[in-house]
Amino acid sequence: MTRVEAYAGASYPERRTAVWRGDQRIAVGQVLRSWRTPDALHFLVELESGEQQELCYQFRAEVWDVRTFEEPS
């Protein structure tokens, strides 16, 4: 199971800090891009491991979706 750790300041999720895979914590190195759709917040992040992940926070369900980002060929 993958989950997202995020900091909640004035609003949640204000800053994504890490992705958890089981008991392994992988810190977010940087946010490469962010955008909003009517139902969700999306963040393309680079983890400290070098992987790029798309983190998507679904407002209604209050859950995160995590997808590995792959450059189009």
**Residue at 12 is within a domain:** yes
Q: How high is the pLDDT of residue 46?
A: 95
For the CA atoms of 19, 49, 56, 13, the dihedral, rounded to the nearest 10 degrees, stands at: 50
**Can you give the residue range of the structural domain that contains 19?**
2-68
**Residue at 9 is within a domain:** yes
**Residue at 63 is within a domain:** yes
Q: Count up the domains in the chain and report the number.
A: 1
**Residue at 27 is within a domain:** yes
**Residue at 51 is within a domain:** yes
**Residue at 61 is within a domain:** yes
Candidates 54, 7, 47; CA nearest to 30 is: 47
Residue 38: pLDDT band (50, 70, 90) is: very high
What's CA 42's distance to the chain center, in Å? 7
The answer to whether residues 31 and 45 touch, using CB atoms and an 8 Å cutoff, is yes
**Residue at 73 is within a domain:** no
The residue that leads in pLDDT, 47 or 1, is 47
Q: How high is the pLDDT of residue 18?
A: 93
**Residue at 41 is within a domain:** yes
Residue 1: pLDDT band (50, 70, 90) is: low
For the CA atoms of 51, 33, 26, 24, the dihedral, rounded to the nearest 10 degrees, stands at: -90
Question: What are the tens digits of pLDDT across the range 47-68?
Answer: 999 999 999 999 999 999 998 8
| β-sheet bridge partners, residue 43 | 34, 55
